[in-house]
Amino acid sequence: MPSPIPETPPAAKPAASTKAQPVAIWLLACCLLVLAMIVVGGVTRLTHSGLSITEWQPLVGTLPPLNDADWQTVFEKYKLTPEFKLVNHDMTIDGFKQIFWWEYAHRLLGRIIGVAFLLPLVWFWARKRIDRPLAWRLLGIFILGGLQGAMGWYMVMSGLVDNPRVSHYRLTAHLALAFAILAAMLWTALGLIYPQRRLGDTLPDRSLARMSKWLTGIICYMVVTGGLVAGVRAGLAYNTFPLMNGKFFPLESFLMEPLWMNFFWNMATVQFDHRFGAWVLAALVPIFWLRAVLGSIDTRTRIAATLLLLMFAAQATLGIYTVLLRVPIWLAALHQCGAVLLFAAAINANHALRRGVPDRAITAA
């Protein structure tokens, strides 16, 4: 009877292969570009610059206005928008240039990310540095990036018809898709840096792994509610902490009818929803960290849990001061950057706690 080969005793986790390292570094660099994209997009919103470019020209739009005639042309197009007619009717061309450059930088950065992702992908595939399953996954991420560009224009379109503001539903979807792309790239990069666990390796605590998934889900909830807060400008109201103008739950939170509208349009309810998620994280993240530090024998898991705790503390502090100071642009941008880093820390913790698929059993005659 054939007998199975004895399992390999537990050993140090294998490092990323020399072949995988460049791919992982490239994906992490793309993650940093997406981080910059999200922050610049936040500043574009905060400076009310998002409607300054009224056309979506993925190729031709790469070049900015090059002379006074070009500037006058794009300014005349902006004058036809509801934002100019109802809000910025006294804007000069010099003022227009200030908002134009933020939106242009946002769109240009999106194009740079597309090139920075596609060209190395083709090169790695041609040099056989990535296998077919990974290539398909990376191609899927590239397609998501293209959809993100379309979603951005779909969002801008909502502010070019009647309302001088973009739809906060589309704004939130645009933000959420950016985080999804970041998660896909980061998870793939971490998989290359930390190869799959093998049979015989010490597996993480199942309950701790489940807790990390719940925390990530709550952070995703914070991203979505944060998008709604930005969309309805709820951060400009209730600029007190820890209570909201003396109340834990403002009495005006359910003034709108039908009831469901309060969760998406009422500034009191939208901000409370965002704060509530923060309070839940404030209770659970320290517990997660304590369990990971005291119960895990895996150094990477302990480091990941500590990073998550530190990033939550920093992000919560930024959020509190953003509200107290009535959303200054520089602080709100830092808060948005902190959201990305907190989300990345949660993805890293989930990856550290994953339970890998054991290798297939090998038998000998």
Residue-wise pLDDT tens digits, 59-91 = 767 899 999 999 999 999 999 999 999 999 999
In angstroms, rounded to a whole number, what is the distance separating the alpha carbons of residues 164 and 233? 14
Residues 260 and 289 in one domain: yes
The pLDDT of residue 365 is above 80: no
The CA distances from residue 11 to 198, 201, 241, in Å, are 10, 7, 50
SS3 assignment, position 49: coil
Average pLDDT of the residues of the chain = 89
Is-above-0.85 flag for pTM? yes
Last residue of a domain, one of 176, 195, 214: 195
DSSP 8-state code for residue 354: -
In angstroms, rounded to a whole number, what is the distance separating the alpha carbons of residues 315 and 331? 11
DSSP 8-state code for residue 278: H
Last residue of a domain, one of 131, 161, 195: 195
**In this structure, is residue 3 part of a structural domain?**
no
Q: Chain centroid to CA 104: how far? A: 20
Residues 265 and 164 in one domain: no
Q: Chain centroid to CA 241: how far? A: 26
Q: For the chain, first and last CA: distance in Å?
A: 7
The range of the structural domain enclosing residue 104 comes to 18-195
Q: What is the pLDDT of residue 4?
A: 46
Residues 71 and 180 in one domain: yes
**In this structure, is residue 37 part of a structural domain?**
yes
Residue-wise pLDDT tens digits, 154-171 = 999 999 988 888 999 999
Q: How many domains does the chain have?
A: 2
Q: Kindly compute the dihedral angle of the four CA atoms of residues 237, 263, 316, 313, in this order, to the nearest 10 degrees.
A: 170
In angstroms, rounded to a whole number, what is the distance separating the alpha carbons of residues 50 and 39? 13
The larger pLDDT score, comparing residue 354 to residue 358, is at 354
Contact indicator for 100, 49 with CB cutoff of 8 Å: yes
**In this structure, is residue 4 part of a structural domain?**
no
DSSP 8-state code for residue 199: T
**In this structure, is residue 12 part of a structural domain?**
no
Tokens describing residue 102 = 């933020």
Residue-wise pLDDT tens digits, 100-122 = 999 999 999 999 999 999 999 99
Residues 26 and 174 in one domain: yes
In angstroms, rounded to a whole number, what is the distance separating the alpha carbons of residues 338 and 219? 12
Residues 226 and 125 in one domain: no
Average pLDDT over residues 244-265: 94
Write phi, then psi, for 293 (nearest 5 degrees): -70, -40
SS3 assignment, position 350: helix
Q: What is the pLDDT of residue 78?
A: 94
